[in-house]
Amino acid sequence: MSSLARITVFTGSAPGADPSYRAAAEAVGSVLAAEGIGVVYGGGNVGLMGTVATAASDAGGEVIGVIPKVLVDKEIAHHELTRLEVVDDMHQRKMRMAELGDAFVALPGGVGTLEEFFEVWTWLQLGIHAKPIALYDVGGFWDPMLAMLDRIVQEGFISEQFRDALIVVSDPRQLLDELRSWEAPVPKWSQPASSA
């Protein structure tokens, strides 16, 4: 059982092609705020990332943004946050977002979202953290990537317990239930040498 004071949200700096993405980002932001859970995110006021932050902030929630100096103007730093941390670079941003959150959720997004998601997932495998990670699905957005991950498991490159440790949901309350009941897998290198 994990305690959830703050959740780190990864999602697109673009709004996506369908209005359902924005609706999902609003739902996640407002439910987290209503549940008294803080949002940690990339600090910008663009795309779905801005939507999550604004929805959480409008609902009275804590929102902490972490943005590198170089993106303050490009991603239009959000000024209605509880706190905006301006860091030196992308590496510090990800490190700080990982430290501040008790769990991670990726909503639809682009290559930056994927990079952030895969980094925290690899860190879980290595035992660098033991925090739950969820993919928040909207209209089957993650299905092709999940099929690829299943293929990677079949081919013996990811152990099943790490695939199974990944939470996949499409509803904000289900997200919180699954994050709260999640149990950390045993890190990769503490298993017998024969396993993946």
Q: Give the footprint of ligand AMP on this chain (CB under 6 A).
A: 12-14, 42, 44, 49, 71, 75, 90, 93-94, 109-113, 115-116
Query: 89 or 160: whose CB is closer to ligand AMP?
Result: 89
Which of 57, 113 has the CB closer to ligand AMP?
A: 113
Using an 8 Å Cβ cutoff, are 106 and 135 in contact? yes
Least Cβ distance, residue 120 to ligand AMP (angstroms): 11
Output the smallest distance, CB 194 to ligand AMP, in A: 34
Q: Write down the least CB distance from residue 75 to ligand AMP, Å.
A: 6
CB of 71 to ligand AMP, least distance (A): 6
Which residue lies nearer to ligand AMP by CB, 34 or 70?
A: 70
* Sheet containing 63-68, strands listed edge to edge, beginning at the edge strand earlier in sequence: 83-87, 63-68, 38-41, 6-10, 103-106, 133-136, 167-169
CA-based torsion, 127, 3, 10, 132: positive or negative: positive
Q: How far apart are CA 180 and CA 4, in angstroms?
A: 7
Contact partners, residue 134, CB within 8 Å, separation at least 6:
103, 104, 105, 106, 166, 167, 168, 169, 175, 178, 179
Nearer to ligand AMP, 122 or 181 (CB): 122
Q: Which residue number is nearest to ligand AMP in terms of Cβ?
A: 112
